[in-house]
Amino acid sequence: MARALAASTLKRFRKMLEDEQTRLTDVIREIEDEQEELRLTETSSERSPDPNTAEGGSLAFEIEKELSLHQNAKDLLSQAEDALQRIGDGSYGFCAECRTAIPVARLEALPHTRWCVTCSAARY
């Protein structure tokens, strides 16, 4: 059986993930505020929403960029929350596929990861 992470190491990763959770929640809130501002700008007479105009095309690009950033932040937040849940249930630090211990160096680089390098490479 693979060796579990030390309590102090788990505590450090929990703190790292909780900080990331807070940061991502703030980012999502900011993006949603910006989306609302863009939506209001789009409906005002200040800017044309017609994507065939330069201004409308720029607005469409901004909206698309904000949607992409929003989805990415939500995905990362979900991964951080999932990792926190795994810390709680004792499965954190073990590969979801082969159940071997994930090296601490990998967890430091990707604290939300569910897979060891070998299984991750096989997935993609």
Q: Taking the domain 7-123, which CATH number applies? A: 1.20.120.910
Its pTM stands at: 0.79
Q: Where along the chain do its domains lie?
A: 7-123
As a whole number, mean pLDDT of residues 106-117 equals: 96
Q: Is the pLDDT of residue 55 over 80?
A: no
| Long-range contacts formed by 1-9: CB under 8 A, 24+ apart | 2/94, 2/99, 2/100, 2/101, 3/101, 4/90, 4/93, 4/94, 4/101, 5/92, 5/93, 5/101, 5/104, 9/104
Per-residue model confidence as pLDDT tens digits over 83-104: 999 999 999 999 999 999 999 9
